[in-house]
Amino acid sequence: MADSGPPPNFIRDIIEKDLKDNKNEGRVHTRFPPEPNGYLHIGHAKSICLNFGLAAEYRGLCNLRFDDTNPSKEEVEYVESIKYDVRWLGFDWENREYYASDYFEQLYQYAIQLIKGGKAYVCSLSADEIREYRGTLTEPGKDSPYRERSIEESLDMFVCMRKGEFPDGSHVLRAKIDMASPNLNMRDPVIYRIMKASHHRTGDKWCIYPMYDFAHGLSDSIEGITHSICTLEFEDHRPLYDWFLDQLDVFHSQQIEFARLNLGYTVMSKRKLLGLVEEGFMTGWDDPRMPTISGLRRRGYTPESIRDFCERIGVAKKESTVDITLLEHCLREDLNQRAPRVMAVLRPLRLVIDNYPERKMEELDAVNNPEDSSMGSRKIPFSRVLYIEREDFREIPPKKWFRLSPGSEVRLKHAYYITCGDVVKENQTGEIIELHCTYDPESRGGWTKDERKVKGTLHWVSAAHSLKTEVRLYDHLFSKADPDNVEEGSDFKTFLNPNSSETLTSCRIEQSLKNAKPGSRYQFMRQGYFCVDSVDSSHDTLVFNRTATLRDTWAKIEKAQKKTEK
């Protein structure tokens, strides 16, 4: 048995059985069918990876098909963003870019066929009445008084519906199935409604639009889709999906349902994400805190890490909420191999090396990535006045602290050993404003002949040779792991994390970053992975987004210490 490759799942099992039975002449053809009514999010990425992945794995094809049957919610802006995102994720639909709206004429003919066969009728009940007639979960519905309208009359009226002779909502076309079915979807579902709205692709050509259940399965059939993969909530729709294909006697795609992705500390519904954008809680769909593909991209996530994540979470029918740490792990694993290391000081503390000559500047060698020697090295300037991270100094060092403190010796990465002397404080506030240290000239490069142990290694930048920059630190969008789980009358926005974004404006980065490209990713040593914000960076000032932190062992130790003190 193959012990490599993607892990098994129930959909692969189905496909393999179909292949074995030579169903569909051995073809595997899937599709990714977004509705262009919002931006794609990481949940869609799961579906995209699944559909395109399966097609690639079984030498099949995957179409990109926009499910654009409701012009009141759909826009070209969304189709453009969706195409961009799917491509960015690394998938190619070649020339198979389709739209349900491409099939409107064909779908209309299918509807005519149903009417002629006595399988559909024009119903003139109001929306409210249709709801009343539908019955409830426990009681059967009752037949519409229009159910036995003659085929000729329905046909005539449907043609008039298309011609625009009736106002919105006055009539609908319904499938004639069974008003007593325990499955509400089978109680004479509406398949066409009158909607005098302009469509982003067909303009004003149509004023009747097909409903999802009718359009989707038939679009699958038209495209020869063998495995139509969708999410769990459509399970109840499968009998209807099958019914249309059977009545019309057309190519029968197989609908397969899987559990959608949920992630902790965020929300995944397009409606909720739209709300956050429209109500100004987010700067846009691409706010780096959003779980959208555009948000993750701007945040610094790589397509590779997202694909890896989608493969690792698996595919099953159990509703699940994946731990956000898995996504972060995938990102770190990818960037650890590929991101150049660089030094940046987020909260600068001035440090003067008293025994280092005033005007001297030397260039020290710094390896770009210890994981990959092919990435080479660069020179970084060192001088008498530096900045180090404010939190790397403690006047009173706690246990196991091996960063800087009065009298202690630490290593400045790639540079020298320094020992801390005087601590200069601001008179009024007592705030530490400057540190005075001495360096050991024998420790150039960061080691000495005597091989004495220096446990702490700090990152730093030269004050005169560094660039001022803005850095944005991000945290979970919500402070609650399951923000969807709200009490009656409350709102998921109550759980928005007030600290999900923090902007630091006086950061310093090494000058090698001067021409860093928008979107490029770096590891700020000892801190995390950051990427150049592609929206707010300017020629004067680069803006960095923190994608993910590095694992912080000291924070863990300190937390444990505080816990035992209690």
Minimum CB separation from RNA for residue 309, in Å?
9
Minimum CB separation from RNA for residue 458, in Å?
7
| Other Cβ atoms within 10 Å of 276 Cβ, number | 20
Minimum CB separation from RNA for residue 536, in Å?
26
* CB closer to RNA out of 153 and 552: 552
Minimum CB separation from RNA for residue 539, in Å?
28
Give CA separation, 513 vs 236, 465, 510, 521, in Å: 55, 11, 6, 11
Instruction: Give me the catalytic one of 65, 149, 270, 508.
Output: 270
Q: Pattern 41-80, binding to RNA, x per CB under 7 A?
A: --------------------------x-xx--x-------
Minimum CB separation from RNA for residue 109, in Å?
19
Q: DSSP of 361-407, one letter per residue?
A: EEEEEEES-TT-GGG-EEEEEEESEEEEEGGGB-SSPPTT--SB-TT
* CB closer to RNA out of 521 and 537: 521
35 in catalytic set? yes
Minimum CB separation from RNA for residue 357, in Å?
21
Among 62, 211, 245, 351, the residue binding RNA under the rule CB under 7 A is 211
Identify whether the C-beta of residue 523 lies closer than 8 Å to the C-beta of residue 335: yes
* CB closer to RNA out of 193 and 299: 193
Select the span of 143-151, 378-386, 411-419, 494-502 touching RNA (CB under 7 A). 411-419
Among 106, 198, 325, 503, the residue binding RNA under the rule CB under 7 A is 325
Among 403, 465, 521, 546, the residue binding RNA under the rule CB under 7 A is 403
* CB closer to RNA out of 462 and 537: 462
Minimum CB separation from RNA for residue 390, in Å?
14
Tell which positions 459-518 bind RNA, by CB under 7 A: none
Sequence letter at residue 89: L
* CB closer to RNA out of 313 and 542: 313
Among 332, 472, 476, 508, the residue binding RNA under the rule CB under 7 A is 332
Any contact of residue 429 with RNA (CB under 7 A)? no
Give the three-class secondary structure for 483: coil
Select the span of 230-238, 292-300, 465-473, 511-519 touching RNA (CB under 7 A). 230-238
Contacts 24+ apart (CB under 8 A), 274-283: 274/38, 275/493, 276/493, 279/493, 281/493, 281/496
Whole-number Å distance between alpha carbons of 548 and 523: 10
Tell which positions 134-163 bind RNA, by CB under 7 A: 134, 136-138
**H helix runs in 169-248, sequence order:** 212-223, 238-248
In eight-state DSSP terms, residue 8 is: P
| Other Cβ atoms within 10 Å of 7 Cβ, number | 9
Tell which positions 235-254 bind RNA, by CB under 7 A: 235-237
User: Six-digit token pair at 47?
Assistant: 């579906």
**Which residues are paired to 349 by β-bridges?**
388
Minimum CB separation from RNA for residue 336, in Å?
5
Tell which positions 176-195 bind RNA, by CB under 7 A: 182-185, 189-190, 193-195
Please classify residue 61 by burial: count the beta carbons closer than 10 Å to its beta carbon, then call 0-12 exposed, 13-18 middle and 19+ buried.
buried
Select the span of 40-48, 208-216, 418-426, 491-499 touching RNA (CB under 7 A). 208-216
Among 23, 83, 413, 480, the residue binding RNA under the rule CB under 7 A is 413
For residue 184, the Cα-to-chain-centroid distance in whole angstroms is 33
Minimum CB separation from RNA for residue 229, in Å?
14
* CB closer to RNA out of 155 and 322: 322
Give the three-class secondary structure for 171: coil
Minimum CB separation from RNA for residue 91, in Å?
19
Any contact of residue 35 with RNA (CB under 7 A)? yes
270 in catalytic set? yes
Any contact of residue 10 with RNA (CB under 7 A)? yes
* Residues in Cβ contact with 505 at an 8 Å cutoff, skipping those fewer than 6 apart: 470
* CB closer to RNA out of 130 and 218: 130
User: Six-digit token pair at 145?
Assistant: 């008084």
Select the span of 41-49, 143-151, 274-282, 332-340 touching RNA (CB under 7 A). 332-340
Whole-number Å distance between alpha carbons of 511 and 496: 37
Any contact of residue 526 with RNA (CB under 7 A)? yes
Among 87, 360, 452, 551, the residue binding RNA under the rule CB under 7 A is 551
Among 274, 326, 352, 432, the residue binding RNA under the rule CB under 7 A is 326
Any contact of residue 27 with RNA (CB under 7 A)? no
Q: Are strands 344-345 and 501-510 parallel, antiparallel or unpaired?
A: antiparallel
* CB closer to RNA out of 370 and 489: 370
Q: Pattern 443-462, binding to RNA, x per CB under 7 A?
A: --xxx--------xxx----
Whole-number Å distance between alpha carbons of 95 and 345: 48
* Residues in Cβ contact with 58 at an 8 Å cutoff, skipping those fewer than 6 apart: 15, 19, 28
Phi, psi of 219 (to 5 degrees): -65, -40
Identify whether the C-beta of residue 416 lies closer than 8 Å to the C-beta of residue 443: yes
Whole-number Å distance between alpha carbons of 536 and 532: 9
Tell which positions 263-282 bind RNA, by CB under 7 A: 264
| Cβ density class 443-459: b for 16+ within 10 Å, e for less | bbeeeeeeeeebebbbb
Tell which positions 115-134 bind RNA, by CB under 7 A: 125-127, 130-131, 134
**Cα–Cα nearest to 214, from 235, 243, 194:** 243
Residue carrying the six token digits 């595919």: 315
* CB closer to RNA out of 359 and 563: 563
**Cα–Cα nearest to 546, from 518, 517, 524:** 524
Site size for RNA (CB under 7 A): 93
Residues with active-site annotation: 35, 260, 270
